[in-house]
Chain A
Amino acid sequence: MIRILLIGIALTFIGGLLFAPLAMVFVSGLEHGLGAWFHSFTDSDTGAAIRLTLLTAAIVVPLNTVFGICAAWCIAKFEFPGKSMLVTLIDLPLAVSPVVSGLIYVLMFGLQGWFGAWLQDHDISIIYAVPGIVLATMFVTFPYVARELIPLMQQMGNDEEEAAITLGAGGWFTFFHVTLPRIRWGLAYGVILCNARAMGEFGAVSVVSGHIRGLTNTMPLHIEILYQEYNYVGAFAVASLLSLLAVVTLIVKTMLEWRTGIRHH
């Protein structure tokens, strides 16, 4: 009886709070039919927003993946002074509000910022331009890969790597043939989370982007603008695309978890 009650409460909650809004996004997007939905994407500004989002993710995700592997490797395999400090620093972007993350870059690279004058002299624009968006997104998505890999690599130990070296393998050979295959599922998981966040980030990007239509609007920013212009179909069409990405990400993630689960047993 209690069991049914508890399950009922949980389902109602999930249904009301999570599923219904998600369904609402798709329903609203498709309100005027598939034609209108597709039509929304023919708008050149919408296309630009999608392209910018994809570009940002394409730059940020690989960079953060490489950084995450390096950081996890250092932290898991070596002892050095300041190690716990580094671990804390990696977590910093998760603790800081995204708006603050964006503001940091405005303070550094904005016109009144530390490097502002120098950047202007050399005709480099970072804030209110694509580099600023990339930087802010990178900052926010910094910890995802590293955090996923650190416990994994710590738990694995060095045995297989040591075995590879005694068998004559060099550093790169060992990394690509021994270490990488061992961490691949954890790494994929981290990359997916990193990507999801990179595409969906609103707060930090909103501060540095300047909301220039067709130039510095990412998908989340563009949705907000469309919404504020009472273009509900357009807003929900883009929103549903973003949500679709999230849903696909979650499905892939679940599959990976299932896969790793099998490997553990």
Chain B
Amino acid sequence: MSITLEQVTKRYQGQPVVNDVSLEVAEGEFFVLLGPSGSGKSTLLRAIAGLVDIQHGGIALHGSDVTHVGVRERGVGFVFQNYALFRHLSIADNIEFALRVRRMKSADRRARRKELLKLVALEGMDDRLPSQLSGGQQQRVAVARALAHKPQVLLLDEPFGALDAKIREELRRTIRVVQRELGITTVLVTHDQEEAFALADRIGVMNLGRLLEVGEPHTLYARPATRFVATFLGAANLLLALQGPDGIRVGSTPVDATGRQAGPAAREHEVVAVLRPEEVELAADRDQLATRYVGRATVEEVQFTGALERLRLRLLDNLAAIQHGADPAEARIEATRTQPEQRALPLRPGDTVVLGARRLHVLPTPLSSFVVHADDDDTARALHADPVLATLAARMKTRVATRAGGDETAPQSAAPGVAVLATGADAPARVGQLLRAGANEVLLLTGRAELPRQLCIYWMDNAARGATLAVAASLLRHLPAEAICVSAAPAARRDARRAAALRALLDARSEARAAHALETRTELLAGEMPQALTDYLASLDTPLLVLGASNAAQATEMLEGILRKLPDVPVLLVYRETP
């Protein structure tokens, strides 16, 4: 492996900017770190170069640990967003800088410089000053300069950020050619997905300091695992679908979908499906639809963008399927059509069409939507406004429905999605009712103003482990918190239970990493549950407890024990009934 990152964490004033990132980049690979601004991608790149020190984790280049090695000794090539050329030096001196530092002979330096200038197609520019070159040319010089000392790793921080579209494309090609020619391991940071697709062998998508998914461009586009990647890489319509024993339904219509096939439970549950705009089929009526019918819609907006036509549609039926905003009536579907499609069925705003899905991809995320359960309007409003729920709903772009009190006593009435309750003395009892009625996840909110900084993950038995980790992983993609898996064992070293608990934690950590790309810490608490857990939670700053259970009675008992001591800790209960 050329670059190996092991649980790299960087905090600024206590807030993690890079959060437990582990990554391996192969020899000669072109790896692109993609993410919105503030996602921590540039910080991660600078940490690889050694320009930023990290608080936790390790960095290795070509097998040797460089975590505590200075920038100079790491010897990577680094290209800065604003070129950072030495303005007072000529192009020749800029390129020869690294060679001069290494006391190379002047004739050798010249030969190397000529070679590099040829590589970036800037022959004859030797004596110019950087200010006499265009932006694109300056960035070429920066690339040549970074390559002068033959580094084994080339790092580029948004190298095309300050350039206009045409020069960008040209420079992109140059960099790809140079990279292929030299076979140098390259990591490029960008917020532009088109750039990522054009350059990368593999892409890593970052958000809120976490590396969410890593994969080849087409895999990430066609089969994203997370909402964020689905919506950040290209446009995506997110639909709520129901997965039952006999397949996936969008509203009342069964559809074909890729992604998750076998559900964990026999009973029907809600899933999130991705419908790309180009996979939306539009027809005048149902009979002309070549694919599965999703619903009827009116055209709201038609935008001509050259090769493609972009449409915004409002669904007239099957409203339950849409989950863009909290209000289903506000939800829109985006579609794009090619020229032949436009000619076959010209559309104008106001027209009514039927809508089909050519290809639907179900996300493996366990959290689909939220349902607030409240006895009165005030409680409902308070729960809707709770920062945890509001943040999650906004970042997951999902729906928050409301259910009036009393309903959950009726059998089979637990609505799909995460049930949301206000914490309180009667909470454990109500949770019990919800679980019996078929709820899989229950979120207990306290109205605390801060978002959780730590996610404390604890499963009461191993049957619930997989689901608990999956839910925690999903949650962490939307909340910038640290993940800590806990278990408890008596303090005595010799105790066999201690070894077993430790092994279980390590297993869980590798499962979280392998199945959910989630990096976690582990904490083995001394003592007995639930006492050890309440003590530990009380020691944390602003925790949220993710509690996994497969026995409803035990779960409510545990909840009662924790809530009595710590009434202001929000809890997400993950319940998986053992068959």
Contact = CB atoms under 8 A, between A and B. Distances in A.
Given A168-B98, A168-B102, A170-B72, A163 B86 contact: yes
Interface string A163-179: 11111111001000110
Nearest to A171: B72
A166 B97 contact: no
Contacts of A163: 78, 80, 84-86, 145
Contacts of B75: 168
Contacts of B71: 162, 165-166
A159 interface: yes
Contacts of A159: 80, 82, 84
A167 B84 contact: no
B150 to A, nearest CB: 11
Contact of A168 (B87, B88, B149): B149
B76 interface: yes
A157 to B, nearest CB: 9
Contacts of B51: 162, 165-166
A169 to B, nearest CB: 5
A182 B88 contact: yes
A160 interface: yes
Contacts of B86: 160, 163-164, 177-178, 181
A168 B74 CA distance: 9
A162 B49 CA distance: 10
B80 A162 contact: yes
B82 A167 contact: no
Interface in A70-89: none
Given A165-B72, A166-B76, A168-B98, A181 B149 contact: no
Interface string B166-193: 0000000000000000000000000000
Interface residues of A, number: 16
Interface string A119-162: 00000000000000000000000000000000000000001101
A177 B75 CA distance: 19
A46 B85 CA distance: 52
A162 B88 contact: no
Interface in B182-215: none
Nearest to B102: A168
B240 interface: no
Contacts of B54: none
Contacts of B148: 167
Contacts of A162: 51, 71, 78, 80, 84
Given A162-B80, A163-B78, A163-B80, A169 B72 contact: yes
Contacts of A181: 86, 88-89
Contacts of A178: 86
B146 interface: yes
A71 to B, nearest CB: 23
Interface string A196-230: 00000000000000000000000000000000000
A213 B447 CA distance: 82
A197 to B, nearest CB: 28
Interface residues of B, number: 24
Contacts of B165: none
Contacts of B72: 165-166, 168-170
Contacts of A173: 101
Among B49, B85, B101, find the residue whose CB has the most chain A CB atoms closer than 10 A.
Answer: B101
B77 interface: yes
B97 A164 contact: yes
Contacts of A182: 87-88
Contacts of B89: 181
A110 to B, nearest CB: 48
Interface in B356-389: none
Nearest to A156: B87
A18 B482 CA distance: 69
A170 B97 CA distance: 12
Among A163, A167, A182, find the residue whose CB has the most chain B CB atoms closer than 10 A.
Answer: A167
A162 B77 CA distance: 12
Contacts of B49: 166
A167 B149 contact: yes
A178 B145 CA distance: 15
Contact of B78 (A166, A169, A170): A166
A169 B87 CA distance: 17
B366 to A, nearest CB: 43
Contacts of B98: 167-169
Interface string B79-100: 0101011111100000001100
B456 to A, nearest CB: 33
Nearest to B98: A167
Nearest to A182: B88
A102 to B, nearest CB: 41
Nearest to A178: B86
Contacts of B84: 159-160, 162-163
Given A181-B88, A182-B87, A169 B82 contact: no
Contacts of B102: 168
A165 B98 CA distance: 9
A168 B89 CA distance: 17
B68 to A, nearest CB: 16
B97 A169 contact: yes
Nearest to B151: A166
A173 B75 CA distance: 16
Contacts of A164: 86, 97
Interface in B143-166: 145-146, 148-149
A25 B176 CA distance: 71
A83 to B, nearest CB: 17
Nearest to B82: A159
Nearest to A162: B51
Contacts of A170: 72, 101
A169 B149 CA distance: 12
Q: Give the 7 A-B CB pairs with smallest separation, nearest first.
A: A159-B84, A167-B98, A166-B78, A163-B84, A181-B88, A168-B101, A165-B71
6 contacts: A159-B80, A162-B84, A165-B72, A167-B149, A169-B97, A170-B72
Given A160-B87, A181-B86, 8 more contacts: A162-B51, A162-B84, A163-B86, A164-B86, A167-B148, A170-B101, A181-B89, A182-B87
